[in-house]
Amino acid sequence: MKKVLISLLAVVGLVVGVYFVFNLKPPKPTITIENNTVEVAQGSYCWGGLINGQCIDKISPPDIIKHQHLKPVVVSPRAELKIEFNREPQENTIGAYIWFSNDEMKKVLLNNNIFLVPKEKGVYIYSVSAHWKKGSSSYAFVIEVK
């Protein structure tokens, strides 16, 4: 019985160790607005493991939205949008940007990882970025104000 327990603990330890060594993907945010979860696409990132790391450079957020055929979540004008991560980023590293074109964007003012969407009707593309000890990452999503 003791051998079985030791073997089981060794297997669990090995699986957990492999996960942490080779886990090369940053955590995705959960973005909610008016009780809806917004679909998020992975943007550019650099992420390190214990043995190796990788940096992946992606296309701009507007192109990510087009390429991945993300559909906008319909929201009310001035609705509150909340950004949460299951693994907390380093302090003061979460940023949000609204994109007007592939090379024109503007920083969005965050208050406790919450911001208000525009009051004008239209489709809006956003990106979110954050930093952790293992690296940094960006994400893209789209909403429609009606």
What is d(CA 103, CA 67) in angstroms, rounded to the nearest whole number? 17
* pLDDT tens by residue, 57-68: 999 999 999 999
User: According to the model, what pLDDT value does residue 17 have?
Assistant: 47
Asked if residue 125 has pLDDT above 80, the reply is yes
Q: Which amino acid type is present at position 6?
A: I
User: What is the phi/psi pair of residue 112, to 5°?
Assistant: 55, 45
User: According to the model, what pLDDT value does residue 49 have?
Assistant: 80
- Cβ(142)–Cβ(66) below 8 Å: no
User: According to the model, what pLDDT value does residue 30 have?
Assistant: 97
At 122 the three-state DSSP class reads strand
Q: Please report the DSSP string for 26-87 in residue order.
A: PPPEEEEETTEEEP-EEEEEEEE-SS-EEEE----HHHHHHHTTPPPEEE-TT-EEEEEESS
The model's confidence at residue 117, banded by pLDDT at 50, 70 and 90, is very high
**Mean pLDDT of all residues in 46-67:** 93
Q: Which residue has the tokens 């080779």?
A: 22
Structural domains in the chain, CATH included, are 26-145 (2.60.40)
pTM over 0.85: no
The CA-based dihedral angle spanning residues 9, 52, 59, 90, taken in that order and rounded to the nearest 10 degrees: 70
* pLDDT tens by residue, 33-45: 999 999 999 999 9
